[in-house]
Amino acid sequence: MGKKIFLSIPVKLIAIFLAAVMFSGCASDKQRRTDEDFGLDSTEISEDLLDDIGTAKQIFYSLPSPLETAMLLKSAGATYNEELLNPVSNTSNYTTNRTMALNLGIYTTDLSFASLFDQTQTSIDYMNAAKQMADGLGILDAIDNNTIERLEENINNRDVIMDIISETIMSSSSFLTENERPALASIVLVGGWIEGLYIATSLVGDSPIEDNKLVERIVDQKLSFEWVLKLLEDNQDHPDVIAIMEGINDLKSTFDKITITTSKIQPVPDEESNVTILKSESTIRITPAIFNELSEKIRTLRQNFIS
Amino acid sequence: MKRIILKIVVIAAVAFVPFTLNAQCKGFAKKICKVELTPYIHDGNYHAAMLTIGEEAELYKTFYSDTDYRISVCGSDELPDIEFRVIDSDRNVLYTNKSNDYSRIWDFRLEASQQLKIFILVPATEGLPEDILGGCVAIMFGFKEK
């Protein structure tokens, strides 16, 4: 492990100042949460664990990244349809921080989707589109010309491409978070998440929803929707977040109509592979009418985001 | 005059250092923690915090069925081994690295999609210097392409 030295300033006085600032200045320090955040039942927990929960200094809500979203779509049997992507010709329409952040997420999801389906030229085009959004937001060095060149040089090397995309997502997110712009970082994630849902629901179209893997993945997003709301609530005073909250909140009434029931998880370690299988079963309940309602709301919201 | 200069230096340092620390945290996450994900594909998300002894962090994430995941939790050198637990929505501890020699990684696959919590603690450890102010703790996720 590489040696990392933090706070090596020798003057004690300065160190005390720095400590105070450092711990009060973390960009996304959150108010301490209660157990209700996780829907926990206090009767099923040991005393030690109870002491730990809800006392954290920092709380993160993690949404599926554009790369994970694209992978989930592909593994659920999605087919590639370029017409579903936000055209790169739209980039010039986005001039505000809100629209650039939303479409940075959207273009990064489109880039991930195209890359996983080996659409080489489209991947380059969408990396350029994402670059324009990142540049517009002042995200320095997240996507530079070197990134595009590396992508072009390794366009047939899936592993390198995945690495370039994940690095791009990480650099954009960390830049915004570290520069006191967590609201925009959350908007980028929400844009990418909605794009994934839009592609998925569009691909299902009028197909039957029974025994449909893609529909199961869409239903699963009810579980991530909770984190979407928490993420935005943490930044609810920001005008750009306020501007998208109404549309996001509108999804809640539809997600609430979907039921997911899961049995108790049983961890079963596999000593040979060193992978633990978390065994459990789940049942989902959704009707074609609810699915159509969700699809329509997603389509409207996404249209609003890319307009 | 010297006192004024000292004050200016202190103020400048106070204003500048959080950004430096954050940048160092990103560099640490990228160079150390991300490498631990190999051969899994890093999902691109970035979660890192400056923590000190006794402090905790929590991360909430939905993990999807039939997907191979790796969690990587690592702390910078000045911190002791970082403890992490994976907890389900019924508060059951599914994994704790404390029972696994404080391993920095955990590989798992779910049969059904679940909301899980990753609980992170910088434990108090005997023998550490008293003047440790903190260090970077990063939490990263990788998956395998199907």
pLDDT at B15: 47
How is chain B split into domains, by residue range? 2-143
* Structure tokens, A282: 């789940």
User: Could you list the residue range(s) of the whole structural domain that residue A162 is in?
Assistant: 3-306
* Structure tokens, A98: 């809100």
Higher pLDDT, A213 or A158: A213
Asked if A174 reaches chain B (Cβ–Cβ under 8 Å), the answer is: yes
Which residues have CB under 8 Å from A228's CB, separation 6+? A63, A190, A193, A248
In angstroms, rounded to a whole number, what is the distance separating the alpha carbons of residues B97 and B103?
5
The answer to whether A197 and A161 are in contact (CB under 8 A) is no
pLDDT at A18: 41
- From chain B, the residues in CB contact with A75 under 8 A are 66-67, 145-146
pLDDT at A12 over 70: no
pLDDT at A67 over 90: yes
Rounded to the nearest angstrom, the gap between the alpha carbon of residue A87 and the centroid of all alpha carbons in its chain is 21
DSSP annotation of A145 reads H
pLDDT at A35: 39
Taking an 8 Å cut-off on Cβ atoms, the answer to whether B91 and A49 are in contact is yes
Residue type for position B74: C
In angstroms, rounded to a whole number, what is the distance separating the alpha carbons of residues B23 and B21?
5
Taking an 8 Å cut-off on Cβ atoms, the answer to whether A169 and B108 are in contact is no
Please name the residue of chain A whose CA is at the shortest distance from the CA of residue B109: A277
Does domain B2-143 sit in CATH 2.60.120.380? yes
In angstroms, rounded to a whole number, what is the distance separating the alpha carbons of residues A103 and A105?
5
Number of domains in chain A: 1
How many Cβ pairs within 8 Å bridge chains A and B?
258
- From chain B, the residues in CB contact with A276 under 8 A are 94-95, 106-109
Which residues have CB under 8 Å from A209's CB, separation 6+? A215, A286, A288, A291
- Mean pLDDT, rounded, for A185-204: 97
Taking an 8 Å cut-off on Cβ atoms, the answer to whether B59 and A60 are in contact is yes
Of all residues in chain B, the percent with pLDDT exceeding 90 is 67
In angstroms, rounded to a whole number, what is the distance separating the alpha carbons of residues A175 and A172?
5
pLDDT at A207 over 50: yes
Alpha-carbon dihedral sign for residues A229, A230, A231, A235: positive
Cα–Cα distance list, A95 to A103, A156, B12 (Å): 11, 33, 34
Of all residues in chain B, the percent with pLDDT exceeding 70 is 81
Alpha helices in chain A (DSSP H): 12-25, 47-52, 66-75, 97-116, 120-136, 145-153, 158-178, 182-204, 213-233, 239-255, 288-306
pLDDT at A156: 86
Asked if B126 reaches chain A (Cβ–Cβ under 8 Å), the answer is: no
Asked if A303 reaches chain B (Cβ–Cβ under 8 Å), the answer is: no
- A17 pLDDT band, cuts 50/70/90, is very low
The answer to whether B89 and B63 are in contact (CB under 8 A) is no
Which residues have CB under 8 Å from A178's CB, separation 6+? A27, B19, B22, B23, B25, B26
Q: What pTM was estimated for this model as a whole?
A: 0.83
The answer to whether A113 and A200 are in contact (CB under 8 A) is no
Asked if B102 reaches chain A (Cβ–Cβ under 8 Å), the answer is: no
pLDDT at A233 over 90: yes
> Any idea which of A47-51, A112-116, A172-176, B29-33 has the lowest mean pLDDT?
A47-51
In angstroms, rounded to a whole number, what is the distance separating the alpha carbons of residues A179 and A141?
14
pLDDT at A15 over 60: no
* Structure tokens, B49: 């915090």
Alpha helices in chain B (DSSP H): 2-28
- Mean pLDDT, rounded, for B50-65: 95
pLDDT averaged over every residue in chain A: 84
Taking an 8 Å cut-off on Cβ atoms, the answer to whether A22 and B50 are in contact is yes
Give per-residue pLDDT as tens, B2-53.
666 656 555 544 444 444 556 678 888 888 899 999 999 999 999 999 999 9
* Residue matched to tokens 């204003």: B15
Interface test with A, best of B3, B28, B42, B86 (most A CBs within 10 A): B42
